[in-house]
Amino acid sequence: MLTIASDIDALARFGRALADPLRCRILLALRKAPAHPADLAEALEISRTRLSNHLACLRDCGIVVAVPEGRRVRYELADARLGHALDDLLGAVLAVEADRTCPDAEEKGCC
């Protein structure tokens, strides 16, 4: 049975993953299909080094997994439900009016 602490930890890890725009791009790409790092770096137009750092963060958060394929490694979402969660989150975020922000967004650095 999950405890509140583990629920909070899971949400915090997901939040950290989504806190960076590049990691969001990586997750959206992996939501569509698993990918090898070289292909992913090319598709996202970033260096392999930069991609590697972000993939390590996503692995450490438990969001993606590296699947060995001979001498290569393929990355994919750790659980298919994460893809569904991203779809649901995108739907909710896109439904919010574009000009809606927190009243103190600039002061707090949010929204």
pTM, two decimal places: 0.79
Q: What is the pLDDT of residues 29-39, one digit of tens each?
A: 999 999 999 99
- Per-residue confidence (pLDDT) for residue 74, from 0 to 100: 97
Biggest alpha carbon–alpha carbon distance for the chain: 52
Positions of E strands within the chain: 64-69, 72-77
Q: Give CA torsion, residues 27, 33, 39, 45, to 10 deg.
A: -40
**Domain limits, the chain:** 13-93
Q: What is the pLDDT of residues 78-103, one digit of tens each?
A: 999 999 999 998 887 766 655 566 66
Q: What is the pLDDT of residues 3-53, one digit of tens each?
A: 666 888 888 888 888 999 999 999 999 999 999 999 999 999 999 999 999
* Architecture, CATH, for domain 13-93: Orthogonal Bundle (1.10)
Helix (H) or strand (E) holding 56: helix 48-60
φ/ψ (deg, to 5) at 45? 55, 50
